[in-house]
Amino acid sequence: MSDHPRMLLTFNIDTIGHHHAAWRHPDTDPRRANDFEYYAHLAVLAEDAGVHSVFIADGVSHDPDNTHAPVLGLEPFTLFSAIAARTSRVGVILTVSSSFSHPYTVARQFASLEHISRGRSGINIVTSTGDAAARNYGLDRLPDHGARYRRAHEFADVITELWDSWDDDALELDAGANRFVRPGAVRRIDHVGENFRVTGPLNSPRGPQGRPVIVQAGSSQDGREFASGRADVVYTISQSLDDAQDFYRDIKQRAAAAGRDPDRVKVLLGIRVLVEDSGTRAREKAAELQDLLPYEQKLAGISRILQTDLTRLAREEPVPPLPEPTDRHQFQTQLVMIRKLIDRGEVKTIGDLIERLDGGQGVSSITGDPVEVADHFEEWFRAGTADGFIILPQITQTSGPNFLRSVLPELRRRGLFEQSTGGTLKHQLGLDA
């Protein structure tokens, strides 16, 4: 079992779902895609169920030719503020691209979110994928993998220095002495680096956590280096229990080698969930989803993450040899994972690959009744694959509430999960001691 006695849980508040055909399923009302009230409803459900945080994913481009995928258009900082006002205990983690954001702006936005949420904020730093994103920020194409991660390191340095540019007790608030701020308690940072020049200090006092929880979500070698050196939480994915165990050990070892307490780097594994009261009904819905996703769309999605065109291949054809990941590969984590499935003979044909990815981008999935789903989480948790999980419902509008209503009590009954009692996000993650 993991060192941590209780499972940490994050619930992804996307309004549609993680199966690419979720919006077409009769369970889904697609008009709720950008309905703030529905996001708020999910966040409140998650808070009431006692999960430790909700997670807001993000991307910074849109393909105008892609007319068959739902567009989730609520910008994360705006959404976070509104959700923070509707909740009081659950942590809120939002995604920021270090490749296309400026650290002074982001440090400032998070300083405000820290105050607004009373210390419940987390920043998921991603390096982004897709040349389309680069073209929205003045570049012709996405910078190479190594360059993106170098920028991510520097980005994290600068935001941290900015948050630390204020002492905890900087506000003196002495009206008699005419001193709002204690002299020397707020300092410039004078950062000069490859990507950024920032004088500082931040123009906002420290929030309740000092700085937000830092999350990292890429599992390439560069991603692991980044995560183990400076993240509080690492998001990852795995298609195999053994690989997840290896990843968990690797992150903890790297953290120790970097002079950190490995227990202060929490590994959370993303799992897509389709849960119904009856396992038979859950499996029927999984099949309905697969039927709703046209063959060409399945192949287009897989081709995108592999950066290899598979769109003309038939179901029974073998998966062609896939390249070794290079600096130009944007989804290194997924490429390495799929190559392993092929090397181990678990995936041979295009049809096998489609089945294994199950309408997603590489995140593993579990389908079943509440006991079957809880069994899966228990097995992976006890096997030391993670300190907790990111719940990614396949069809948000049914599997999301179903998970919270039926699987969580089962995990609690088994002594694996304890309802959060609130406090700062660091406190909820066991990182404030």
Binding site for ligand FMN (CB under 6 A): 57-59, 95, 126-129, 145, 217-220, 222-223, 235-237, 270, 331-333, 390
Residue among 206 and 329 whose Cβ is closer to ligand FMN: 329
- Nearest distance from residue 123's CB to ligand FMN, in Å? 11
Helices and strands, number each (H, E), in the chain:
15, 13
Residue number with CB closer to ligand FMN (201 or 223): 223
Instruction: State the nearest-atom distance from the C-beta of 126 to ligand FMN, in Å.
Output: 4
Coil, strand, or helix at residue 89?
A: coil
Q: Are 404 and 51 in contact (CB under 8 A)?
A: yes
Q: How far is the CB of 267 from ligand FMN (least distance, A)?
A: 11
In angstroms, the CA 135 to CA 148 distance is: 15
User: 267: which strand partners?
Assistant: 234
- Site of tokens 């287009």: 300
Q: Whose CA is closest to 239, among 387, 342, 116, 329? A: 342
- Least Å distance, CB 160 to ligand FMN, is 19
State the nearest-atom distance from the C-beta of 240 to ligand FMN, in Å: 15
Chain centroid, CA 251 distance in Å? 17
Cα 395 to Cα 401: distance, rounded to the nearest angstrom: 10
Nearer to ligand FMN, 87 or 129 (CB): 129
We find the least distance from the C-beta atom of residue 39 to ligand FMN, in angstroms, to be 15
Residue with Cβ nearer ligand FMN (58 or 164): 58
For residue 272, give every residue at least 6 positions away whose Cβ sits within 8 Å of its Cβ, in sequence order, or none: 18, 19, 358, 360, 363, 364, 365, 366, 392, 393, 394
- Helix or strand or coil: residue 133? helix
Give the dihedral of Cα atoms 188, 191, 195, 196; nearest 10 deg: 20
Return all residues near 315 (Cβ < 8 A) that are at least 6 apart.
295, 349, 350, 351, 354
DSSP 8-state secondary structure symbol assigned to residue 320: P
Rounded to a whole number of angstroms, the minimum distance from the CB of residue 411 to ligand FMN is 19
User: C-beta of 361: minimal distance to ligand FMN in Å?
Assistant: 9
H or E segment to which residue 53 belongs: strand 53-56
63-67, Cβ contacts within 8 angstroms, sequence gap of 24 or more: 63/132
Of 145 and 206, the one with the shorter C-beta distance to ligand FMN is 145
**Minimum distance of ligand FMN from residue 125's CB (angstroms):** 8
Which is nearer to ligand FMN, 50 or 218 (by Cβ)? 218
* 105 vs 280 by CB, closer to ligand FMN: 105
CB 386 within 8 A of CB 267: yes
Report the residue number, 59 or 279, with the smaller CB distance to ligand FMN: 59
Question: Distance between CA 141 and CA 132 in Å, rounded?
Answer: 7
State the residue number with the nearest CB to ligand FMN: 218
Comparison of 270 and 422: residue with beta carbon closer to ligand FMN: 270
